[in-house]
Structure 1
């Protein structure tokens, strides 16, 4: 999923290139256009850009000046200069500032498209997996990251807020690059899948690779990465001095700009983890930076959101939520104890399976745990430990998805959380299984309801605003979701891409207006959101085999 912006002070060139790139289907593109450098700057301040095609000579803000502003906002953006001038000084300045390509306008469409594909390919090759893993191996040899991790976890898990001077001293002692007296933006992540039979060391190594990917894309920020369970990690983010983060009127950091940058880079982090490390990750980001004293509460909000998810519950990028406090796990070791300990060590992975609705995986673990202690004396300590570990997992899910009073009574809670409520171990296990079945059923129904509601909401908005700009960014703002994730989720649910649905809806409205109204074709073009009458005519003929005028005349004849 790439964002492309086309910038030129000659509208005919911008419109022509816009139509040219509309015909590219092997790369998923969201295309923006601007008729000046100033207009382009307004767009890139709101939207992450991957590739920019821009003229050099423009009034007010030149292409070279625009290049500097783009790179300061989106360092990974590739700049392709398109100009009518072959002056070597332009080329020299463009290349010195990191331009991806320099093309003369007279060279034609093929050269421009080739430069686009070259830039897109370089983006995909930007990070080398082998180098990331080698870097991760070196980092694992050092003790400092472990000390940083333990201290940051202490900060967010402690019930007592640490005094500012103590926090400053610890940050300096552990070489934590964050500012102890400044708010922090938090992102929680979850690895959705591991390779089969992967060792703990390999998982830790991959989490270090995820850290390196995160640091690469968020290089404009102060960043601390903490892996806090077998499949979860956190990012603590603050603006650094290399970017222009200041709201000069307010005299403080522009939090919206920071959040926009981080949200834009989360998609790159997720895509790189999938492409280079072959693991899918889900991410949840706080809506704004919080003081360190409130970091623990924000952590719980994001944990809850990450547990709820949407769609299949994988590769999500969401904003803000709540989560119950984490619980400690206690285990023992010998005979039955040894087997039970081995089973209960998997509890974090099982919790992830429970969150993601993976019934088969959960019940396999459930059966293993309950069978290990089935032949012990009734309600001995081992059975109690096994029972309450499972019951706590189920209670956490109940709190996350929410059972109303009619569905979940005090008696249900007693039966779940008091093993003595049951006359035998078999009865107790049966109650746990019945509860788990109900929770899986409710979670699946809730997920289906929420995703159906999302599709209806998006479709309704599209139909009500067909005459307006319907970019992926605008739709994602209405859905409170990351643009790329919304695009994937919509296609996953409906089987149709958002751009396809919008085009079909516009065509259906256009056909209706041509049949039943006397509006001029150029007015129908505006009413259905097409850029120009020529573009509308070309797409309409491609869609129906007829020009708009031929379509209208045909239906007038049919009516006669």
Structure 2
């Protein structure tokens, strides 16, 4: 999904251009409007913008000043200037920059549409990172990258020293491009969907390619180090590159906004290049290095609390001071038990069952095993399940005294079959909760829309309200309700408009204002497009209806 921002101080031009672009068959194009350079700046500071279509001469912040801000906030954004003949000298210098083009206002809509389509094609081409894919397949991981992986795994385990002097020495020796005296922002990523039963090499190659893609985007505006953790998931540690403003004065809020927008581009690139969905969780508060191990555990847990299927989700979370008292749980020593715990937390049912099968293989295979070894295996798995239940409490009777009592089962094999059944029940409950959370979230969105019909209901604004990224919200709404978000908004506004038009006290332009249209002309055009008649024709017809004949717009079924 791409976001087009149209900027002009003449509302009729801005609105007209937005309507023209909305009628074009450009899949996933989200259109935003700004009636001044200041309003455009608000958009640029709050969400990712991919293409800007802007006038040059505007009061306050003009198009050329806006270009410098765009270059700083969203380096990959394409800019199209609409100019008059007398603006050419000013624009000539601007078009020497990469990604900037211009059109004369006299050239007409067709040229503008073609320019926007051309900019989107350039963005599409930039997502097809064939060069990075080939690089991931051909090059060996050099010793420095491997050393970074091992070093940060060591730190995340809580075994390393996290005090600044020691970190500074380690960073210098390992050539790590971060500053130990400066707080970091963590970004956790996991691959949601890939080929069925991929080999270890295929999984690692896909994850490594996602890391390389992420690095290439994130280094536009940050200092960062990416790594693959012991569960095969991704973690980036990020610091702003604001010149001369490290520490508490660094622009962490701006960096978080950059991450929220750029991670969507990384997701699109991974989907295009690898046919793989990637989900991200951003820690929005700058963290000290000492707090990194427990925050990493919290991010892992938060990442796997999904709404819907979680594919292509970007979630932003923060942790208060009370959260730092202690880690979520002690680490389990056995590699397979650690994997089992990670698979259960991540909702990876097939991988969990395969690992459980490997753990219980000595018993199911009929080999001679000492009772103490069986008890150790059983208790380790049971504690993984119990730990998960403690993190995700449920009123359902999924456990009983038999969970921690090997001697309650007739045979050892029956005991491990009981563990498998308990895990199956947990995975089923998880899927049910994910579906319920998605339905609840969409019910909240529908309620918000119906209560704010007079306000901005753009996808960006609704995404900010719901704390989802725009593309995920759009897809989740369609998945849960069976209709597009824009269709639901149009229906809600039409229904409210009909109710108000049926009441004589409201003038037509007042009705339009109450459903989000400040211009009576725009409201009339919208209403006729949806209903086939003008507001006045509807009002005249409504006078002949019985008083109880108005129909209400039913919310989508939940």
TM-score by length of 1: 0.88
SS of residue paired to 1:516: coil
SS of residue paired to 1:235: strand
SS of residue paired to 1:110: helix
Which string of whole-angstrom CA distances, capped at 9 and with x for unpartnered residues, describes residues 263-318 of structure 1? 11111111111111211111111121100001112111111111211102333222
1:373 aligns with 2:331: no
Aligned to 2:214: 214
Which string of whole-angstrom CA distances, capped at 9 and with x for unpartnered residues, describes residues 179-230 of structure 1? 1110000011111123245433333232222122112221210010010135
Aligned to 1:30: 30
Cα 1:230–1:246 change in 2 (3 A) is closer
Is the Cα–Cα contact under 8 Å of residues 308 and 401 in structure 1 kept in the other structure? no
Is the Cα–Cα contact under 8 Å of residues 227 and 236 in structure 2 kept in the other structure? yes
Is the Cα–Cα contact under 8 Å of residues 378 and 424 in structure 1 kept in the other structure? no
Cα 1:538–1:356 change in 2 (3 A) is farther
Is the Cα–Cα contact under 8 Å of residues 68 and 97 in structure 1 kept in the other structure? no
Larger deviation, residues 358-367 vs 15-24: 358-367
Question: C-alpha distance in 2, partners of 1:98/1:271?
Answer: 22
Q: What's the offset of the Cα at 1:517? A: 4.0
Cα 1:117–1:400 change in 2 (3 A) is farther
Aligned to 1:528: 515
Question: C-alpha distance in 1, partners of 2:458/2:97?
Answer: 30
Larger deviation, residues 182-191 vs 159-168: 159-168
Aligned to 1:436: 423
SS of residue paired to 1:416: coil
Aligned to 1:387: 378
Aligned to 2:452: 465
Is the Cα–Cα contact under 8 Å of residues 204 and 232 in structure 2 kept in the other structure? no
Aligned to 1:157: 157
Is the Cα–Cα contact under 8 Å of residues 363 and 369 in structure 2 kept in the other structure? no
SS of residue paired to 2:52: strand
Aligned to 1:89: 89
Question: C-alpha distance in 1, partners of 2:465/2:66?
Answer: 29
Aligned residues: 538
SS of residue paired to 1:125: helix
Q: What's the offset of the Cα at 1:79? A: 0.4
Aligned to 1:427: 414
Question: C-alpha distance in 2, partners of 1:39/1:246?
Answer: 29
1:448 aligns with 2:435: yes
1:502 aligns with 2:489: yes
1:264 aligns with 2:261: yes
Aligned to 1:330: 334
Is the Cα–Cα contact under 8 Å of residues 127 and 272 in structure 2 kept in the other structure? no
Larger deviation, residues 224-233 vs 198-207: 198-207
1:227 aligns with 2:224: no
Cα 1:432–1:157 change in 2 (3 A) is same
Q: What's the offset of the Cα at 1:14? A: 0.9
Is the Cα–Cα contact under 8 Å of residues 133 and 208 in structure 1 kept in the other structure? no
Which string of whole-angstrom CA distances, capped at 9 and with x for unpartnered residues, describes residues 431-453 of structure 1? 21332233123212322221121
Question: C-alpha distance in 2, partners of 1:12/1:330?
Answer: 67
Aligned to 1:9: 9
Which string of whole-angstrom CA distances, capped at 9 and with x for unpartnered residues, describes residues 493-525 of structure 1? 112222221111111111111123431110000
Is the Cα–Cα contact under 8 Å of residues 363 and 413 in structure 2 kept in the other structure? no
Q: What's the offset of the Cα at 1:359? A: 4.9
Larger deviation, residues 229-238 vs 202-211: 202-211
Aligned to 1:403: 394
Is the Cα–Cα contact under 8 Å of residues 240 and 251 in structure 2 kept in the other structure? no
Question: C-alpha distance in 2, partners of 1:183/1:263?
Answer: 19
Aligned to 1:191: 191
Cα 1:360–1:212 change in 2 (3 A) is closer
Q: What's the offset of the Cα at 1:325? A: 3.9
Q: What's the offset of the Cα at 1:127? A: 3.8
Larger deviation, residues 52-61 vs 95-104: 95-104
Is the Cα–Cα contact under 8 Å of residues 491 and 498 in structure 1 kept in the other structure? yes
Question: C-alpha distance in 1, partners of 2:407/2:331?
Answer: 22
Cα 1:155–1:371 change in 2 (3 A) is closer
Question: C-alpha distance in 2, partners of 1:512/1:283?
Answer: 43
Q: What's the offset of the Cα at 1:373? A: 2.3
Q: What's the offset of the Cα at 1:527? A: 0.4
Aligned to 1:334: none
1:276 aligns with 2:273: yes
- Map 1:294-309 → 2, pairs under 5 A: 294-309=291-306
1:285 aligns with 2:275: no
Root-mean-square deviation (Å): 2.8
Larger deviation, residues 46-55 vs 203-212: 203-212
Q: What's the offset of the Cα at 1:384? A: 4.5
TM-score by length of 2: 0.88
